[in-house]
């Protein structure tokens, strides 16, 4: 999945409740509580200063002995070997949750990790202490830094919107979500968003390619930005079908933030989705002008959503399903897909210290220390994703 990141709040289409697995529900509840508490604390307490070394008094991790290896280089980052004691919260993480994501990565493992996948699968029923001891024995943590040695970066989040839809236009459903047109590869770049909406020749190439129809063009834009979503489709026979629309390609035009466009116009000081919607409510005649400021257009494919498919997110750029709270999107020039990563982020919204897997990417996820945290699906996940924007540290865990 390839997505763009933008501060968002939940869309109105996510009002109805969704079926969320117990694991995801617990994650959202914990994150939501942390966000509320963090927001209140931020009113009186400044964010903790960032650190480039282990916390004072950090206790050595058993088994972490011997000389450290030399640094490693990636195209966009420098990896500095460290002791496990540098990783904040390493002794406290619920590692079994991350193991679910790691087993998914083993469906398409990166070459350096393929030999470990048998052990990873066997350890899925191990105790947290056994899993921790295995990590220390088999992997070496490297602090991810920019070329200039800066270990600080940015954490944001993304999610799967849940939207009501219909198979046929009518009764208020007027906005299509399209499969890729047959001629997409013959014209690079393809038509812009405005041309797709207005030119007869573009519309002719999309005839019969609609997967479903939405009520609100802004909801469609949110799906385009997030790169995938869940549709609650009202079928012609009166039944309701849950499906996923997953990223299937773009028109090859660059992504432009509609929030940035509003700020540049001097139209608002609030470029979050609530601020954007407030501006649209006051300026409905300018809806197309806002949407067309982003020429990038995303095409989708429909996937079934039932059984185990519903317990995980869409497939990320690694080609494996994303796990809420344990999958991140990264710049693959900094961290290769399939790499287990220790993530530490402490800011005014929430504190996260945990094992995650690098399984996705995004057009706005660029740089050495940059990650997008997958929160799940539905309104609550969207609220969390819209609030999360804070300092980040990353440690890549690489086979010894």
Give the residue extent of every domain in the chain: 7-23+160-309, 27-45+60-87+99-157+313-399
pLDDT bracket for residue 18 (50, 70, 90): very low
pLDDT bracket for residue 56 (50, 70, 90): very low
Q: Residue range 58-79: average pLDDT?
A: 90
pLDDT bracket for residue 4 (50, 70, 90): low
- pLDDT of 46 strictly over 90: no
pLDDT at site 15: 29
- pLDDT of 217 strictly over 70: yes
In tens, the pLDDT along 375-393 reads 999 888 988 887 888 999 9
CATH architecture of residue range(s) 27-45+60-87+99-157+313-399: Beta Barrel (2.40)
- pLDDT of 329 strictly over 90: yes
- pLDDT of 17 strictly over 60: no
pLDDT at site 5: 54
pLDDT at site 78: 98
pLDDT at site 385: 87
pLDDT at site 48: 38
- pLDDT of 311 strictly over 80: yes
Q: What is the 3-state secondary structure (H, E, C) of the chain?
A: CEECCCCCCCCHHHCCCCCCCHHHHHHHHHHHHHHHHHHHHHCCCCCCCCCCCCCCCCCCCCCCCCCCCCCEEECCEEEEECCHHHCCCCCCCCHHHHHHHHHHHCCCCCHHHHCCHHHHHHHHHCCHHHHHHHHHHHEEEEEEECCCCCCCEEEEEEEECEEEEECCCECCECEEEECCCCCHHHCCCCCCHHHHHHCHHHHHHCCCCEEEEECCHHHHHHHHHHCEEEEEEECCCCCEEEEEEEEEEECCCCCCCHHHHHHHHCCCCCCCHHHHHHHHHHCHHHHHHHHHCCCCCEEEEEEECCHHHHHCCCECCCCCECCCCCEEEECCCCCCCCCEEEEEEECCCCEEEEEEEEEEEECCCCCCCEEEEEEEEHHHHHHHHHHCCEEEEEEEEEEC
- pLDDT of 38 strictly over 50: no
pLDDT at site 30: 56
Residue range 7-23+160-309 in CATH 3.40.50.1370: no
207/307: higher pLDDT: 207
pLDDT at site 363: 81
pLDDT at site 47: 38
In tens, the pLDDT along 121-174 reads 999 999 999 999 999 999 999 999 999 999 999 999 999 999 999 999 999 999
332/66: higher pLDDT: 332
The yes-or-no answer to whether 7-23+160-309 and 27-45+60-87+99-157+313-399 have a common fold is no
- pLDDT of 184 strictly over 50: yes
Give the pTM.
0.79
Q: Residue range 90-98: average pLDDT?
A: 95
For the chain, what percent of residues have pLDDT higher than 70? 85
In tens, the pLDDT along 75-84 reads 999 999 999 9
């Amino acid at each position: 999945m390839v997505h763009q990141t933008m501060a968002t709040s939940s869309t109105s289409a996510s009002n109805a409740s969704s079926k969320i697995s117990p694991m995801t529900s617990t994650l959202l509840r914990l994150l939501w509580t942390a966000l509320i508490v963090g927001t209140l604390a931020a009113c009186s307490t400044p964010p903790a200063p960032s650190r480039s070394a282990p916390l004072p008094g950090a206790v050595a991790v058993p088994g972490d002995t011997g000389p450290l290896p030399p640094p490693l280089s990636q195209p966009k980052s420098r990896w500095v070997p460290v002791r496990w004691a540098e990783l904040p919260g390493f002794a406290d993480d619920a590692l079994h949750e991350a193991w679910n994501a790691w087993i998914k990565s083993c469906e398409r493992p990166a070459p350096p990790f393929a030999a470990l996948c048998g052990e990873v699968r066997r350890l899925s029923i191990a105790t947290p202490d056994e899993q921790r001891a295995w990590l220390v024995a088999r992997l070496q943590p490297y602090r991810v830094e920019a070329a200039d040695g800066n270990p600080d970066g940015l954490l944001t989040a993304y999610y799967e919107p849940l939207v009501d839809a219909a198979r046929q236009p009518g009764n208020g459903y007027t906005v299509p979500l399209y499969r890729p047109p047959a001629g997409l590869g013959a014209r690079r770049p393809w038509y812009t968003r405005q041309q797709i909406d207005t030119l007869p020749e573009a519309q002719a190439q999309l005839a019969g390619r609609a997967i479903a129809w939405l009520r609100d063009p802004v909801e469609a834009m949110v799906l385009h930005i997030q790169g995938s979503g869940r549709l609650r489709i009202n079928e012609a026979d009166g039944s309701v079908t849950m499906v996923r629309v997953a990223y299937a390609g773009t028109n090859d035009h660059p992504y432009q933030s509609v929030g940035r466009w509003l700020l540049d116009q001097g139209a608002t000081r609030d470029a979050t989705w609530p601020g954007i919607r407030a501006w649209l409510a006051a300026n409905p005649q300018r809806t197309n002008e806002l949407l067309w400021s982003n020429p990038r257009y995303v095409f989708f494919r429909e996937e079934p959503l039932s059984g185990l498919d519903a317990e995980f997110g869409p497939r990320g750029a690694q080609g494996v399903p994303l796990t809420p709270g344990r999958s991140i999107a990264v710049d693959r020039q900094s961290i290769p897909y399939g790499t287990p990563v220790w993530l530490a982020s402490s800011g005014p919204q929430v504190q996260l210290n945990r094992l995650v897997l690098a399984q996705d990417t995004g057009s706005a996820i660029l740089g050495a220390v940059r990650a997008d945290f997958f929160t799940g699906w539905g309104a609550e996940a969207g609220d969390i994703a819209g609030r999360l924007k804070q300092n980040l540290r990353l440690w890549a865990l690489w086979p010894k």
